[in-house]
Amino acid sequence: MELGGSYLTAKHRVQTNSRSIRRMSDSVRTRFAPSPTGFLHVGTARTALYSYLFARRNNGQFVLRIEDTDSERNVADSAAGIVDGLRWLGLDWDEGYLKGGPHGPYVQTERLDRYHAAVNALVAHGDAYLCYCTNEELDQRRRAAEAHGLPPGYDGHCRNLRPDQVRAYEAEGRRPAVRFRLPDTGETVVDDVVRGRVVFDNATLTDFVILRANGVPTYHFSAVYDDVDMGVTHVIRGEDLFPSTPRHVHVFRALGRETPPVFAHLPLIVGADRRKLSKRRDKLSVQQYRDDGYLPEALVNYLALLGWSLDDHTELFSLADLEKVFSLERVSRNPAAFDIKKLDALNGHYLRQLPPAEFAARAWPFVEAEAFAGADPAVLANAAPLVQERVNHLTEVPGMVGFLFGDEVELDQAAAAKVLTEYGRTFLVEAAARLDKLEPWTAAAVEETLRGLQTERELKPKTAFQPVRLAITGRLVSPPLFESMELLGKPRSLARLERAAARSG
């Protein structure tokens, strides 16, 4: 029986030998196949990372394809955002979307002719059949099955339709979907690198749709077809897809691949509360972490540790390190808890490891976005050694260096009420008078002068220097005070001390 419907033409009605697609490559080939339904999720990014690392570790190829057949969920420009996130993480692909290659096209909606031809061949072989059931009929039968304590899956209504039944349905104007025919007896064995061997009773599996009535394939068919056609050797994906794997095994076999790819289903990522990550409670987008001042090195390192470890004590891995040591066998089956504090610590570590010039270059977009009057990359570069030891995110840098741009600085009101007491303002007047005579203007000379005044007045360092820090930076938390005053320069430093001293109590 051949498929009917306006979405198929004569050129799609192929012979049975069309079931043989490209043979599996001898080398390792992994793929990352996101749906363009939104941002690049951190869990999806981990899947991409593991697929990338496994390919690199085994001198294989990493393929990127876009699975966009669920048109109702697709989001405009989402594919571009996914690509942007992958590139920011440093996960380059060997072939696929935007790069091309011998197995293209790499966008599923551009491959419909191939899916239609393959589905026709499956129908001709009896591996699939036309299903004329409407959604309403399916819902009614599902509810009836549940009422009688029966499994809710498809009941096989269209499995063996007579020709007169087909004619009657088509006379009604019904457009058929296509269902895959699963075996009724026996077992399906799935060998998974992470989960081990799992045996499914075929009696619990029900026939499923592989081609919708509108001619668009479902994930359960298009993903498998593409894995066969693109020679994918290892399918690395989230554990939420594991229950679908026995279905996929049978589709692989029907498409001529008796031995399916090696499966590795990754553990779920949960929050600190051990619940599944939620858009309401958690940051899920890779781009959000980038915008919040995280480094790609830190996020890559952290994502690698969400379900994988090399040993019990090594936690710092560059992408190059991971390419040499990653293995699927060391992926855990247990859910991985996303610990933002640990990610923050890693990010702080990587920030401090950057050469100051590179730290300044990476921080500059965040500083520039604040539109400080007189902002200068050269000034930021000079301040970098003072700042990078004190921040865990690049978003903190503008607040640490903003005082260096412009002549005046806005004082934190709460801090001013606390430290600009009459005694504090008196100390500022005396400090300005002594510093006015200081030459040369260096951090060491400024420190010697101010500490000398502090000792003379028998003040604790905090009592003496908090008013100075506030006057100079506008805050009570800042880079080192004396080095900051050297960078700010003598004229502006003195003007700020005098302005704060003149503030009314």
Residue labelled with tokens 């279905």:
247
Contact by Cβ (8 Å): 475, 469: yes
Q: Residue 283's pLDDT is what?
A: 74
CA–CA separation, 466 and 481 (whole Å): 9
Q: Residue 280's pLDDT is what?
A: 59
pLDDT for residue 245 is more than 50: yes
CA–CA separation, 104 and 119 (whole Å): 19
Write out pLDDT tens, residues 369-398: 999 988 999 999 999 999 999 999 999 999
Strand partners of residue 337: 270
Q: Give 469's Cβ-side CA count (13 Å radius).
A: 18
- Confidence band, pLDDT 50/70/90 cuts, at residue 13: very low
CA–CA separation, 103 and 115 (whole Å): 14
pLDDT for residue 413 is more than 50: yes
CA–CA separation, 220 and 206 (whole Å): 13
CATH 3.40.50.620 in the chain, residues? 112-266
Residue labelled with tokens 């002068």:
449
Contact by Cβ (8 Å): 442, 493: no
Kindly report the average pLDDT of the chain as a whole number: 92
Write out pLDDT tens, residues 332-377: 999 999 999 999 999 999 999 999 999 999 999 999 999 998 899 9
Task: Determine whether 279 is an active site residue.
Answer: yes
Contact by Cβ (8 Å): 317, 327: no
Q: Residue 23's pLDDT is what?
A: 44
CA–CA separation, 119 and 128 (whole Å): 8
Domain 354-404 classification at class level = mainly alpha
Mean pLDDT (whole number) for 229-240: 97
DSSP secondary structure string, 57-121?
HTT-EEEE-B----TTT--TTHHHHHHHHHHHHT---SEETTTB-TT---BGGG-HHHHHHHHHH
CATH 1.10.8 in the chain, residues? 354-404
- Confidence band, pLDDT 50/70/90 cuts, at residue 148: confident
CATH topology of domain 413-501: Arc Repressor Mutant, subunit A (1.10.10)
Mean pLDDT (whole number) for 119-136: 97
CATH 1.10.10.350 in the chain, residues? 413-501
Of the candidates 279, 324, 342, 462, the residue annotated as catalytic is 279
Q: Residue 227's pLDDT is what?
A: 98
136's enclosing H/E stretch is helix 135-147
Write out pLDDT tens, residues 153-181: 899 999 999 999 999 999 999 999 999 99
Query: Considering only 19-28, 48-57, 81-90, 416-425, which range has the smallest mean pLDDT?
Result: 19-28
- Confidence band, pLDDT 50/70/90 cuts, at residue 313: confident
Strand order in the sheet with 177-180: 128-131, 177-180, 208-211
Contact by Cβ (8 Å): 457, 424: no
Write out pLDDT tens, residues 188-222: 999 999 999 999 999 999 999 999 999 999 999 99
Q: Comparing 243 with 505, which gets the higher pLDDT?
A: 243
- Confidence band, pLDDT 50/70/90 cuts, at residue 18: very low
pLDDT for residue 282 is more than 80: no
CA–CA separation, 97 and 47 (whole Å): 17
- pTM summary value: 0.91
pLDDT for residue 12 is more than 70: no
The answer regarding whether domain 112-266 maps to CATH 3.40.50.620 reads: yes
Q: How many CB atoms lie within 10 A of CB 255?
A: 23
Q: Which among 241, 266, 273 is positioned nearest to 333, based on CA atoms?
A: 266
